[in-house]
């Protein structure tokens, strides 16, 4: 169910971009959420570039085209921040590590939903974004409580 919500967020991003550019969410094999990585060069064909050292299989930073809309720029920044923040130091406690990685992942969903509320117009997409914010904030609070009670080692 949660993976469907994340997929819905990606759809929100694509809708909100209003044809200016398509976001590329390159997924590495260890963090794929069931999505295949785009083919090599996909970012270039779509008017974006990847940061040096970040190929199609990694979580590279997309650079917006010069004429990118404010929404596109905001989505790219939110995506970059989410992936940077998901680079957690693992403790060896699977329960704690899950929560530690998912908190920034959920925050990324919230950030993208807020972008569509600022820039989007479709009532259905806006309602979905509001629902995502509500659900993800509740889950972040739950995961923080779990982390507080689980040992760090």
Sign, CA torsion 123/4/31/134: positive
Where does the pLDDT of residue 65 fall: very low under 50, low under 70, confident under 90, or very high at 90 and above?
confident
- Residue 112 pLDDT greater than 70, yes or no: yes
Provide the sign of the torsion angle of the four alpha carbons 4, 9, 11, 12, taken in this order.
Answer: positive
Contact assessment for residue 9 and residue 132, using Cβ atoms and an 8 Å cutoff: yes
User: Can you list the alpha helix ranges (DSSP code H) found in the chain?
Assistant: 2-16, 42-45, 70-85, 94-119, 123-149
pLDDT in tens, 75-104: 999 999 999 999 999 999 999 999 999 999
Task: Summarize pLDDT for 12-57 with one digit per residue, the tens.
Answer: 554 444 443 333 333 333 444 444 444 444 443 344 433 333 333 4
Whole-angstrom CA distances from 73 to 2, 25, 26, 35, 88 are 25, 14, 17, 23, 25
* pLDDT exceeds 70 at position 116: yes
The pair of structure tokens assigned to 45 is 């064909």
- pTM of model > 0.75: no
pLDDT at residue 131 in the model: 98
Mapped onto helix, strand or coil, the DSSP state of residue 132 is helix
% the chain with pLDDT above 70 = 59
Q: Identify the band that residue 59 occupies on the pLDDT scale cut at 50, 70 and 90.
A: low
Higher pLDDT, 37 or 65: 65
113: confidence class by pLDDT, cuts 50, 70, 90: very high
């Amino acid at each position: 169910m949660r993976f469907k919500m994340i997929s819905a967020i990606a759809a929100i991003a694509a809708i909100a971009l209003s044809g200016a550019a398509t976001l590329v969410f390159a997924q590495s094999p260890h963090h794929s959420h069931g999505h295949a990585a785009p083919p090599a060069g996909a970012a270039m064909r779509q008017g974006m570039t990847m940061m040096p050292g970040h190929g199609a299989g990694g979580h590279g930073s997309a650079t917006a085209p010069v004429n990118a809309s404010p929404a596109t720029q905001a989505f790219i920044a939110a995506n970059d921040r989410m992936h940077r923040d998901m680079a957690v130091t693992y403790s060896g406690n699977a329960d704690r590590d899950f929560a530690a990685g998912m908190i920034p992942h959920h925050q990324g969903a919230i950030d993208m939903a807020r972008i569509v509320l600022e820039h989007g117009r479709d009532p259905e997409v806006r309602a979905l974004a509001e629902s995502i914010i509500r659900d993800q904030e509740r889950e972040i609070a739950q995961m923080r409580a779990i982390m507080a009670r689980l040992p760090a080692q």
